[in-house]
Structure 1
Amino acid sequence: MTTPSRFRRAGVLFFATALSFSLAGCAAHSGTPAPGTTSRESTEVTSPQAADGRQISIVHALGTTKLDAPARTVVALDDSWADAVLMLHGTLVGYTETYTHGTELGAYLGDLPEEFGAGAAIVGTPREPDFDAIAALKPDLIVGAAETGGEHYQRLSEIAPTVLSEGAPTTWKSRYLVLGKALGAEGEASAMLGRYEEEARRIGGEINAGASDPTISVLRFQNGPTRIYAAGSFPGTVLTDAGLARPKSQRGNQDFIKVTAEQVADVDADRIFITTSPLGGERSMESFRATESWSDLEARTVPADDAAWTTSESLPGAYAILDELARAFHVDGPVVPEGLARYAGAVRNER
């Protein structure tokens, strides 16, 4: 039954839900980068540590990090990690200024920043963290992406235990399990991901039943080559979780495919979700609109939130994608964790 808000809420489940991930490990030495492992497809998660004095050991993209006890305070060096800390009810004491949200935490996070990140300080940018500011916060844990923070790993590790993950879109879920382990909340993380996957399957099933298994394209206009987001991208993983089909050219494991105005027919699908970068996106779109093929496709296009679909790589973004899919196909939107605001509308309103 369709609810008036179309974006129902439910409390976060605090019990373990069966959830299976293929998360490969790597050989690494404690506190030091492992040779040849600066790029990996996932972060290893082992079984939860009992509260018996044993260290919590996490193997990640640049080494093995050990914690003597579950972390309570965290500095996050990119948006997706900050989102994860707040979603798991960790205490966020510091985060970086980013292209997506500037110095503000995303409005889509609803009440979570006020409850679990009140007073959090800006600590530079993902590529240029402010080491003195981080040290002053005395965090129990520093988290971020190897691509942006890798060169600073040793210095960050001297301040606090540091976990830097591979940022491949297809492995975005692993950071929740890794962080859950570090916070002593691995069961909650597993349950949260399990609930999201249940919602994705439900929404995708209703869409497939009502629209006869439609195909979905995701097209981004930006300053530079226009992109079709394929199965290996972040939105591609959400569409896969929902069981929604892609055009044949978009089923590979690649993140995105560059496309020119002359190749506009390659984006053809039953629904084409269009995102537009705030930097040059509208200008790029004009060249596509000028083609003869565009008029045939335009009736099947759906405007979509750029930040949610292409840059969030987080549970709030995944829920936003599910919501926009549900709206486009007139099915019930997802049940989201308590405290999380509606992503797409909140992001649009804050710009």
Structure 2
Amino acid sequence: MKKTNLLYLLAILAIISGLLLYYLPDMTSGHNAESNQTSQTFKEKTIVHDFGTTKLKKVPKRIVILDNLYGEILNPLDITPVGATTGQADSQEFSTLFKKQYKDAKVVSVGWQGNPDLDKIAELKPDLILMTGEQEDLYEELSEIAPTVGYQINTDENWDYHETSLKVAEIFDKRDEMKKDLDRVDAREAVFAENVKAKFGNQKLMYLRVTDNDIRYYAYGHFGYLYDTYHFNRAETFNPDDMFQVIDPDKLKDINPDLLIVQADSQELLDNKLKNNPVWSSLKAVQNNKVIYADYSTYMLGFGIVSQEAIMKQISDEWGLN
């Protein structure tokens, strides 16, 4: 009886083994076909950029950005980096534009963009690093950590961020999405400029930055967007090759702008160098409540659609533009 049961069990095992041998090749080949199809879907990219040529064998998932610009490009594409630089040497804080998003996503600070921490970058095991000319001397070292792509940012002019935005979006196969966002913001800027001219006419705007060393009037370079794109009138012209001009309170009184955007490196500096000076209360902009206090990272580091939308919104809200 026991021998019969044993033979019966062996027969069942033989049948099962035969079935497995018959179907397993098909199952395996099906799995391989699926894998091959996935690999064929992704096409290796060769990125020609301002610092060389970089090959990408997969869609990047762990990205480290070394300039605020890239945050402005990735944000509309719903991509959050694993690491990012700060805009100021003495701060570990991210741009105001992305502070909450990066905190929620536990994005790691990799130091100031002028001197990024390579060890921290390496610890994050990125599969893509996005850099600018500010890190040009580090390109080879960064490339040893991960594939590195970089583009120059020209702060000496009202720099057009469109082309770079599209190039970066293309890395993630999201060029069409970026184009739609750029077109939307361009249309918004055109309407905004019309509203500026309609409301303020010939009134003149000054953008002031208060630093430890001086008071600066910005009118050209990166800040050209206020005048060339938004169509505000410069309060005073000077050599366009200079982004800013150092002024004192007496000069400010002589110019006496109708509109003021003020960015101070600290509240103490703002009070001591401007607000506590008798000239301040005599200015038309102050008397007419036409002063906007600007965030450093939004205005000074803004090179993309996120900052431009934030700036237009603040000006519209505070100065009653529709």
Q: Which has the higher helix share?
A: 2
Q: Classify 1:83/1:281 alpha carbon distance in 2 versus 1 (closer, same or farther; 3 Å).
A: farther
Deviant stretches of 4+, over 6 Å: none
Q: Which deviations, in whole Å up to 9, do the C-alpha atoms of 1:270-311 show, x marking residues without a partner? A: 312222122863256238834499445532541322322223
Give the length in aligned residue pairs.
Answer: 278
Change (3 A) 1:97 1:207: closer
- Say which one has the larger Rg: 2
Deviations 1:179-210 (A, max 9, x none): 21222212222222221121111122123123
- The AA in structure 1 aligned to 2:245 is I
Query: Which 5+ residue runs of structure 2 have no aligned equivalent?
Result: 1-40
Question: What root-mean-square deviation, in Å, do the aligned CA atoms of Structure 1 and Structure 2 show?
Answer: 3.3
CA distance in structure 2 between the aligned counterparts of 1:111 and 1:219, rounded to whole angstroms: 27
Matched, 1:183 2:172: yes
- Normalised to the residue count of structure 2, the TM-score between the two structures is 0.72
Alignment partners' CA distance in 2, 1:68 and 1:127: 29
Task: Give me the whole-angstrom Cα distance separating, in 1, the residues matched to 2:174 and 2:72.
Answer: 15
1:274 paired residue number: 262
**1:230–1:255 CA contact under 8 A, matched in 2:** yes
Amino acid at match of 2:112: T
Say if 2:264 is the partner of 1:309.
no
Distance 1:146 1:318 in 2: 22
Q: Which moved more, 1:169-178 or 1:87-96?
A: 169-178
Once the two structures are TM-superposed, the CA of residue 229 in structure 1 deviates from its matched residue by 1.2
**Gap change, CA 1:312 and 1:284, over 3 Å in 2:** farther
Aligned match for 1:249, one of 233, 237, 245: 237
Deviations 1:59-100 (A, max 9, x none): 22x333343444332101233323432332224111134438
TM-score (normalised: structure 1): 0.67
| Equivalence map 1:25-64=2 (5 Å) | 53=43, 55-60=45-50, 62-64=51-53
Aligned partner of 1:74 in structure 2 is 63
| Equivalent residue for 1:89, pick from 78, 91, 95 | 78
* One-letter identity of the residue aligned with 1:306: D
Which one of 112, 118, 141 corresponds to residue 125 of structure 1?
A: 112
1:167 matched to which residue of 2?
153
Question: 1:298 aligned to 2:286?
Answer: yes
- Tell me how far apart the structure 1 counterparts of residues 86 and 320 of structure 2 sit (CA, whole Å): 37
Cα-to-partner distance string for 1:316-342 (whole Å, 9 max, x where unaligned): 32222212321343123xxxxxxxxxx
Structure 1 unmatched runs, 5+: 1-50, 333-351
Residue aligning to 1:7: none
